[in-house]
Amino acid sequence: MEAKNDRIQLRIQPEVKRLLREAVAASHTTLSDLVSQAAQARAVEILTERDRIALSPKAAQTFADALSQPSAVNARLAEALGSPQTFQWLE
């Protein structure tokens, strides 16, 4: 297991700190582990939501139909496709 060397400082309200300490005592873990695990779980949830689209069955079928029948390329789209890219994909 890799050593934990990075630190994060948080400012929280006293009642939140008391709640966290109570949870630490009940879970037999450390405050660092409790906060780190909760933050990591939430970060994964946020990033998963960003990469996922939830559709109703009807909307999913409409989307699939649109993908299977692409529109014709008009002059405006052809011009846009021919111009240099001015954006970068997020990683």
Cα maximum dimension of the chain: 66
Q: Are 53 and 59 in contact (CB under 8 A)?
A: no
- Full-prediction pTM beyond 0.85? no
pLDDT in tens, 61-89: 999 999 999 788 899 988 888 888 777 77
Q: Which residues contact 73 (CB under 8 A, 6 or more apart)?
A: 81
- Average pLDDT over all residues of the chain: 89
